[in-house]
Amino acid sequence: MPNPPVGCVIVQGDEAVGLGFHPRAGEPHAEVFALRGAGARARGATAYVTLEPCHHHGRTPPCTEALITSGVRRVVVAALDPNPAVAGRGVQALRDAGINVAVGVLETQATRQQAGFRSLIVRGRPWVVAKYAMTLDGKVAAPDEGNGQVSGEVARARAMTWRNELDAVAVGSGTLHSDDPALTTRGLSGGRDARAVVFDRRARSSLQAHAWRPGSVLVTAPDANTSAFEAAGVTVVQTATLLDALTGLGRLDISSLLLEGGPGLLSAFLDAGLVDEVRVFIAPKLLGLGLSPLTSPARRMHEAQELRDVTVETLGPDVLVTGLLSDI
């Protein structure tokens, strides 16, 4: 964060002679690693890259220069870079240098992968992913047990990879109080923890909760007393609306936010039109009474929010359904 995940492959004939990806902000871009691998075999080759090559001096020099110097003949770009410092200039520079450039190959897949980066640079706020696991009858928790496991091991492992991939993971004060979630990435070698974000309008959460660790963020109302949190080293964002809260998280370079509950937080985001993507696990269990994932006030079917670009996958005994509520 806040840079995009980008991959590049250099292909000579039908052989991949160089592979690269951008590991983190401050380190070289994908193209540079791929061109290093290809060496002299880049001459006359085709470079495939998931994001338009940059044409500006950021933390690193422009990739257009590296590509032109390498002698590649053709560049295939999945998606243009919405960064105002690039925005088509990268493609133009390559074409001006006589390189054949194709744009828009596997664009949907690439933009979905880059959703956080694109959201932050275009809207100034993170891409918001709502996630929950429910039984076949649509319950996320049993009446007498707040945090019993709904989904199976394979599904839970998948959800852990999201805590590694997204920049931040958020819960409301109700979930913090009832479940005391650790919000860490477990069981993943080389994984990193997303920043923990707690939405607590009154700032009354216990500082003993596991979610508070270095880098954790408290989002609260403008008039809340936050001195104890600040003294404990928690980053505080004080705003009156959820939209402003997201902009505040964007200022912290948080480009993607995984909403992990509970129903109050999810519904507040959904009702404000601020959920961009939904990922739901459905476990083949029948519970009966229990907690619904949402408390939204829709009364008729036409008021339901309908997902686009829906994917369905089975994970062990569970089903994962994902879809988008906004355009990338």
Catalytic residue list: 31
Applying CB under 6 A, what is the total number of residues that bind ligand AOF? 18
Two tokens, residue 25: 């902000």
The interface region with ligand AOF, picked from 27-35, 105-113, 125-133, 294-302 by CB under 6 A, is: 27-35
According to DSSP, the β-strands at 46-51 and 7-12 are antiparallel
Based on the shown chain and the rule CB under 5 A, indicate whether residue 163 belongs to the binding site for Zn ion.
no
Based on the shown chain and the rule CB under 6 A, indicate whether residue 266 belongs to the binding site for ligand AOF.
no
Cis omega (within 30 of 0) for bond into 262: yes
d(CA 139, CA 302): 22
- Stretch 5-24: interaction string toward ligand AOF, x if CB under 6 A: -x---------------x--
Amino acid at 83: N
Contacts of 23 (CB under 8 A, 6+ apart): none
Phi, psi of 19 (to 5 degrees): -130, 140
The interface region with Zn ion, picked from 23-31, 108-116, 124-132, 169-177 by CB under 5 A, is: 23-31
Residue 86 binds which of Zn ion, ligand AOF, none (CB < 5-8 A, kind-dependent): ligand AOF
Based on the shown chain and the rule CB under 6 A, indicate whether residue 83 belongs to the binding site for ligand AOF.
yes
The interface region with ligand AOF, picked from 81-89, 129-137, 221-229, 277-285 by CB under 6 A, is: 81-89
d(CA 38, CA 176): 50
Residue 59 binds which of Zn ion, ligand AOF, none (CB < 5-8 A, kind-dependent): ligand AOF
Whether 183 and 196 have beta carbons less than 8 Å apart is answered as yes
Two tokens, residue 154: 């394979």
> Would you call 266 helix, strand, or coil by DSSP?
helix
Contacts of 185 (CB under 8 A, 6+ apart): 160, 163, 164, 191, 192, 193, 194
- Stretch 39-58: interaction string toward Zn ion, x if CB under 5 A: ---------------x----
Amino acid at 328: I
- What residue is closest to ligand AOF based on CB? 58
Among 11, 35, 48, 53, binds ligand AOF (CB under 6 A): 53
Q: Which residue has the tokens 């985001």?
A: 269
Q: In the complex with ligand AOF, which residue's Cβ is closer, 44 or 88?
A: 88
Based on the shown chain and the rule CB under 6 A, indicate whether residue 81 belongs to the binding site for ligand AOF.
yes
Based on the shown chain and the rule CB under 6 A, indicate whether residue 86 belongs to the binding site for ligand AOF.
yes
Residues at the interface with ligand AOF (CB under 6 A): 3-4, 6, 22, 25, 29-31, 51, 53-54, 58-60, 63, 81, 83, 86
